[in-house]
Structure 1
């Protein structure tokens, strides 16, 4: 960011180990230890344009399948398929929204990929069928390490991998063996197309047993419990370069494979940082072929271009207030990097969460683009049903709020996919001339209109938020809040997250339900936050939620809403079958200065209410979204 609000970006594309050093002067030093050096300069001039130009180089993020934006529940340590299933049923009985159930490595037979434990997880296929019968989805974890110690002929993934020659080799050309959860393992070389085909075949074979809907690819740095391999690594300049960046363990091979390991395209020395990206590419491609729908993949390791193939979670955090706070910077960062489908483990992964922390985290997590509660082994359960009725109610409320905003979020992901926009957005992107926004990491925006101000401290019922100059409206009440560009103290009881609508915006919302499949079919409620001159604009992108390349193949609807001079108009810019069953049922207008004497909908008189806080509401509209309409008042 430059003085005056202009900005530019610099991108060095290089896959080798590196340090980046921050200097006191406005300068950075990159120290890479090899490889190709590609430099890009993005001229902006505003922050959003810098990111748009960057994404234009690395590739636009994929449009997620609709259920990816629902609430996901996971833990390491469910122990059995029945105990996993019990949590799902408990969520349903409490009418708490949940779209996706996950399993960590517990489900596997001796932690081996493409297997499930025949005793503890014997009911897994039935559980998955039950999820599908309730419009819910199932995601499995997969680690790249393939067990290499099973009796010959008993474990197809390894036997077939050897036959097709898909594993990373050591410096001598033999299969490199490391150690991960299943014991001694070989590592697939995802830089080889033959490996992608083998990966697909494994996934397809397993999918016939358990009809999983998405993949969680973990340990893909690639991670190793040993340094290098069972045989160590050679002693040479690749393993011990003249300069080693400040990596874990001070060695390139620390807790990963040897730098001298051989992959199809180059040595691991050059390829290490690309491993997760290449695995994500193989996984997304396989899931497309298996399901014929948009793939859902979440990866731990990432590299530029990752957003084309997967989302990301921020890794193993802890149940601490500071981790709640730092998650905001993490989510904003990955949005800048073209990976908008990102979230942190809600309530924290390690350690025991306090109830208050879990409530506040669920409220913030409801505004992560990707929303998953995930918990470590031997920790107390932390799904919403594990807490007191009061906590359960507060968490349910936060999730229902997220589900009601699904049309907003889905439209934002469309703009990320087509234009390279951010979904969760730093305030400085919308207010680049306001220097006070540059350092804000405790608040963020959804798109340009919704400002989220979460509570990040224990034992308080208020929160201080910065409001850039202009008119803001309390999202829940429509009460106006003008700001000169100042910090304002907000009331924040335990069951509330503060949400404000920026003047000049129109957002479409829906009546929420316990799955997105149900709630996304509900009628729309349009909320307009009028500027001082009475104007506002907004839009809605809609498709069937799962078709691959729906936008590219014209299978979508796109509608813009405009308010000016006491009239809202909708304009259907593009229409397809998907949106025809959606109706607009109600419209609220915040900031209507005088009580109208008449309201007309498509030139017909309509009933309305007008409240003391200057909110006009028109109900029972029954308007078809795929036809232009007008709502006017006088």
Structure 2
């Protein structure tokens, strides 16, 4: 196993926790108060002295602060363990605003470059959270009831939660927290279901009762992989938050973002909300992958996957610690114990699905660019590659092959010879790949463009709250967006591919713009008022709005509203497109 540099970060442990051993008989949870999160006289004294010194220095720099003295409980929290109680952007957090949430307020200097640093408003050790009211064993693990006795500060707090724990395999643990009384949106994807409890898990799981918390350890080393007692669990209808300490600072994943492979834990935030934008540091990009891989101090590795498709952000801080914030769905975690990185990824793929095995030619040399003015120019390029004996396995075309940038068409003048070009490529053992977008032109005379006419007739597009196709703008102009969550849309997509393949026998498809991308915010009519397009909390998305350069979050789809499905749109298009390669085509047609 590869050796990794060791860190000396200590993981604070809660004391006096009531522990639920895996083999214990079911017992109702007690209501005894959990001891403070940071225990041990040495740590407490150090924390008090450090915090007091920090406050004194800041007061000297600022000329002294008027107002009441800080509560002692606030001084107990070291800076690195201050979990943000007021994460809203573009708000000047004052002491009054902070304390209205029942939180501690201590000003701290900002980081260089205007980045957010130590939170000024943070949770005190006794901030109300959920208590584990009962816990019983099941065939696969445990089921429990979590109860909140005091409301938090976001609307529609859910006061009773259901906890499901399944020991699925020796290296995979499944923890799910959801509304105990009412169904909620869950990601509509198939995941493997365990049929029996793991016999020899390489992990142990304990709980703190009040406040509720999860403590997950690796048996072989005793390393604490999850410790959620460090900050309160919040579970409102449109704001779900849970925090955990991390056993090291070697954190990877949580894509898609531009930046170093190894994430900085110095007060950084990663937002997951698919967005079509040139890669820019600190902003959400094309995909959303709520999974991280962490290298532990001894060289072991584990991974955590949150099965949630709503807009979310992950806040990192130097404790080291991590906070998940999402604005819908449920908290559905899979933890993979590895113990090496390769095994973590294999275990992750056992849940989300393995990549398709590509054809051999797909691993070869490909040529593509925007700006081929015609099929003849594309053809000349392929011939030149042969003449100069430069290997080439596939030729691609961007949207310049289309007629008016409309899907499933090709320009009858500039690309009239496209079918012959593809035939020539095939004769030379080469392949052809073309681009497709999910936006379907909506401005053509009725009866002149089958993809839109048929999609409209069958009701296969994203709709507004009024039930009409949501119209945005992409390359062909005003467009409707295919609803790939509808099985009928998948069939319509297949039919379009078959019809076009009969004229241009392509070998692969480049599916693009499926964030989905939109040249306007929401739609040609904007987005309606309401808590889907303007939720109580908006993660730190580029543009400060869920509809920025995409469709309205309130758009209706077959499976749910776009608010829930946005981060799945590209995946659903990919699955619909992949069906094409697996369905027999008429004689003479096929994808190599």
TM-score normalised by length of structure 2 = 0.49
Bigger-Rg structure (1/2): 2
TM-score normalised by length of structure 1 = 0.46
